[in-house]
């Protein structure tokens, strides 16, 4: 909600704008026109701009007519508002910068961030909405390769986001989802309870539910896209990083028959050791973290932590798992991945384990990311397409 507020009198003058379902992300004022209110922004299924001033209504109409089916933002403008720098994106466009000359009423392309990518080669990302098993409205996205649009049931990669509190997936160009689509896989992203952007009640409904109802929402999302006829229920993998990596391990132990395979990228396996190894820069937030996740000092919560820590339930894992970790990760200590790999290997399970000794919480170096995606795509080909890949030898 946006209010007009009198700081001198310390009181609300009036409510200006609100949305029942989504958080307001911003307002824009014009310095050139005595701080006239131009527009509000919020992120619903897509980024939305709500024009307010007559001036901005005309500008908004001009930009959206010129660039239909694109999201735009004003990256910059001249002080006199005679020229604008407009940034464009969509599910099939990585990003373009355009200039707009108001007097000439003319747009000019300045820079395409990825000119080698053609829109017609890219997959469509569709917003989805469904009801959870306990009646909550849940939003998310499905990226569909061409085969799915032609009516085939395709393999799907379920991709829970990191965070998890206050983070959300968004509509737009997602390089990972496009990579997977180019190989024939759909990608499902669910903004499960505790995700940000959907109001305080939705955020807080996920407190003390990590690995439980938050996980149910992901499963309900998979059930929904299966019911739409887009994906093959027997060919669903689960992949994620950080909390998403935890969700992979939790998914393979909570619902062992639901997923065909999992890729755990810098994920938590043991909530007790995760809490013990939080980095120094998280220490000021430790109390909040325990209020959102779980606190082992509370007996009933300690029981839940044992229930939702995958490392204590590895006997339930019966599907292939690839584990990926940066050795210098300060947030999810390498011990989190070591524990799960060690325990599974002790059982005789073949767990491919990629460790990069020059990386932290996620891979930053291009050569390491290429190694990661090569390994991941080979893993998916083997377990979602039943392709046995020939080993590659180098001279």
Q: Is 361 a catalytic residue?
A: yes
The catalytic position among 243, 329, 337, 383 is 329
Nearest to 296 by CA among 280, 272, 273: 272
Encoding tokens for residue 320?
A: 């292939």
Are the beta carbons of 145 and 181 closer than 8 angstroms? yes
Q: Is 243 a catalytic residue?
A: no
The catalytic position among 205, 242, 269, 337 is 242
Left, alpha or beta for 102 (phi > 0: left; psi -120 to 50: alpha)? Answer: alpha
C-alpha to C-alpha distance for 222 and 228, rounded to whole angstroms: 10
Nearest to 352 by CA among 365, 370, 371: 371
The catalytic position among 161, 243, 361, 383 is 361
Nearest to 372 by CA among 362, 384, 357: 362
Nearest to 90 by CA among 170, 148, 19, 172: 172
- Burial call 370-379: b when 16+ CB within 10 Å, e when fewer: eebeeebbeb
210: which strand partners?
Answer: none
Encoding tokens for residue 68?
A: 């239909």
Left, alpha or beta for 336 (phi > 0: left; psi -120 to 50: alpha)? Answer: alpha
Count CB neighbours of 362 within 10 A. Answer: 18
C-alpha to C-alpha distance for 311 and 51, rounded to whole angstroms: 51
What amino acid positions are annotated as catalytic residues?
A: 242, 329, 361
């Amino acid at each position: 909600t946006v209010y007009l507020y009198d700081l001198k009198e310390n009181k609300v003058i009036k409510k200006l704008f609100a949305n029942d379902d989504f958080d307001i992300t911003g307002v824009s004022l014009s310095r050139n026109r005595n701080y006239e209110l131009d527009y509000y922004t919020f992120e619903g299924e897509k980024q939305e701009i709500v024009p307010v001033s007559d001036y901005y209504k005309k500008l908004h109409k001009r930009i959206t007519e010129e660039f239909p089916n694109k999201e735009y933002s004003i990256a910059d403008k001249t002080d006199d508002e005679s020229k604008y720098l407009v940034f464009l994106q969509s599910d099939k466009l990585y990003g373009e910068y355009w200039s707009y000359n108001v007097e000439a009423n003319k747009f000019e392309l300045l820079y395409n961030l990825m000119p080698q990518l053609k829109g017609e080669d890219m997959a469509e990302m569709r917003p989805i909405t469904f009801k959870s098993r306990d009646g909550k409205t849940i939003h998310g996205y499905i990226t569909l390769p061409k085969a799915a649009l032609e009516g085939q049931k395709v393999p799907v990669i379920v991709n829970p986001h990191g965070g998890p509190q206050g983070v959300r997936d968004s509509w737009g160009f997602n390089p990972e989802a496009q990579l997977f689509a180019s190989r024939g896989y759909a990608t499902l992203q669910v903004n499960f309870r505790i995700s940000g952007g959907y109001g305080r009640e939705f955020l807080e409904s996920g407190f003390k539910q990590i690995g439980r109802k938050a996980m149910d929402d992901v499963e309900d999302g998979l059930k929904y896209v299966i019911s739409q006829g887009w994906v093959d229920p027997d060919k669903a993998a689960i992949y994620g990083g950080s909390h998403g990596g935890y969700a992979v391990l939790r998914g393979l132990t909570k619902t062992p028959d639901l997923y065909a395979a999992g890729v755990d990228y810098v994920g938590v396996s043991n909530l007790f050791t995760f809490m013990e190894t939080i980095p120094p820069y998280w220490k000021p937030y430790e109390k909040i973290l325990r209020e959102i996740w779980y606190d082992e000092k509370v007996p009933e919560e300690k029981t839940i932590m044992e229930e939702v820590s995958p490392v204590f339930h590895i006997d339930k894992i019966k599907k292939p798992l690839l584990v990926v970790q940066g050795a210098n990760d300060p947030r999810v200590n390498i011990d989190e991945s070591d524990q799960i790999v060690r325990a599974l290997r002790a059982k005789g399970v073949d767990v491919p384990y990629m460790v990069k000794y020059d990386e932290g919480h996620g891979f930053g170096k291009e050569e390491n990311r290429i190694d990661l995606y090569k390994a991941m795509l080979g893993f998916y080909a083997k377990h979602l397409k039943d392709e046995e890949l020939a080993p590659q030898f180098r001279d």
